[in-house]
Amino acid sequence: MSDETSAAADTGLRRDILTTLLPAFDGPVAPEWVLRLLGQGLGGVCLFGSNVVDAAQLRALTASLREAGPESVVAIDEEGGDVTRLYYDRGAPYPGNAVLGRIDDVDVTERVARTVGEALADAGVTLTFAPDADANSNADNPVIGVRSFGADPELVARHTAAWVRGVQSTGVGASAKHFPGHGDTNTDSHLALPVVDVPLATLRSRELVPFRAAVAAGTRTIMTSHILLPHLDRELPATLSPHILHGLLRGELGFEGVIVTDALDMQGASGGRGIPEAAVLALAAGCDLLCIGADVAESTVEAIVLAVEAAVASGRLDEARVAEAAAHVRALAATAPALRAEVQGDASPDGFEAAPVLSSADIARAFEVRDGTLAALEGAASVGTVIRIDTVANIAIGVAPWGPFAAETVSATPSWLSRATIVGLAEDGSLGDPAALAGPVLVIGKDLHRHPFAVSAIDALRAARSDVATIDLGWPSDDRAYADIATFGASRLVGESVIDLVADALAADQVVVA
């Protein structure tokens, strides 16, 4: 840090700017520069899977962060399903939103969210970027899918509100996302700028319904989306649009909490303009807390500070707007649950895991199983071959273990999955001769219909043999053409239910599918 920067470290404007910033870093220990900037007013940090080794390490890390910045936020993406950071090494022990939406019991959803909140509070985390409040109206959505409670806005609304109530009952703040709604997209905003070209009337009757419910439930924060809505703003994505944030979110919906940006390193926000300029525009639009992205360098933080200072000096950005944003963040930090001296309840020392709210059978009842699918397994000693379809995970989910493969790695008792021959199939791979595979054959993947190589492989298998069943742990196509079993989630808990469902079919003399 330069002498000028050091001398200005405690000036009011610089401190306020720092308070609006939420960087991240790689590894299990906070870098010196992060601790130093926390002492100068940095708003907090966002934790990722790379920051988590085990429970003891994570509690030590969050304690160091909160000691360095008592008015800071310690945030994480823990959605309680496919997107998990606490359980990035093993998959989450929760059902995920789409499964909860299909069960459609708001008391269960609230209990699950409370369990997630207790684990986060035990870990020393103060804010989770959840729940996902998007109504997933597009089955080809590459980034939302099973992170959503469903396609029906009213269903999504009641479960969003329940999730907010549940997690915030533990003291951990919620963040309904991705405002004003990322459900009707077929583009990933991490990689490009999605366009939702619908009129405001459609937004009001669909996208905004869950966010109204989140506001009514008292969500402390709402996260913006990097999507373009031409009927509201032809030039700027929602994160950078004063009309959408000030007019719609603050004005029409009456939200008074903290507006958080999705990560500014995403192409939907900073593409073509850079992160510092995106930060200036986000603050001017009404955002309070700026997520910068994963593994952020100190130089990036300082570049943002300089850009905001220059924008204030030139009159592009009102200093009072920066002070207002910083005040909102400090007020949020003041709601944080106290650091706990001991882990609560039955949480295990290595994973903050409590007893699951739902049983394996409860989860399985949320699956869609095509008539006759399990009959092919009757009388078989075990599954012969598992075709594991590996696709590139979206950046929000990352490379956490998924589904039955996650469940098997932590199970004390090997299942039919460990006895089967597992054939991994990626986009550049070949299936070989389908008829030569030992049967029965299970194809297991996520969002199978969205991947031409997976569709081609399944078509070839079905043409060659009759003992093939497909298990889609993602969001299936509307016609379910490539999902004989659709689980609507790929968390470890869902994976355990898949293992049990197949095991029951193998053991059954007769399988009746409701």
Active site residues: 190, 262
Is the torsion defined by CA of 281, 285, 289, 290 positive or negative? negative
Per-residue buried b or exposed e for 312-330, using 16+ beta carbons within 10 Å of the residue's own CB: beeeebebebbbebbebbb
Cβ–Cβ under 8 Å, residues 166 and 131: no
CA distance linking residue 28 with residue 494, whole number of Å: 28
How far from 348 is each of 124, 134, 413, CA to CA, in Å?
15, 32, 19
Residue 368's contacts (CB-CB under 8 Å, 6 or more residues apart) are 476, 480, 483, 485, 486, 488
Question: 3-state DSSP helix/strand/coil percent for the chain, to nearest 5?
Answer: 40, 10, 45
Is the torsion defined by CA of 219, 224, 225, 231 positive or negative? positive
Which is nearest to 159 in space by CA: 107, 218, 226, 198?
A: 107
Cα 434 → chain centroid: 36
Q: Nearest 5 degrees, angle CA 275-CA 278-CA 282?
A: 135
Cβ–Cβ under 8 Å, residues 173 and 128: yes
Which is nearest to 273 in space by CA: 239, 298, 297, 302?
A: 239
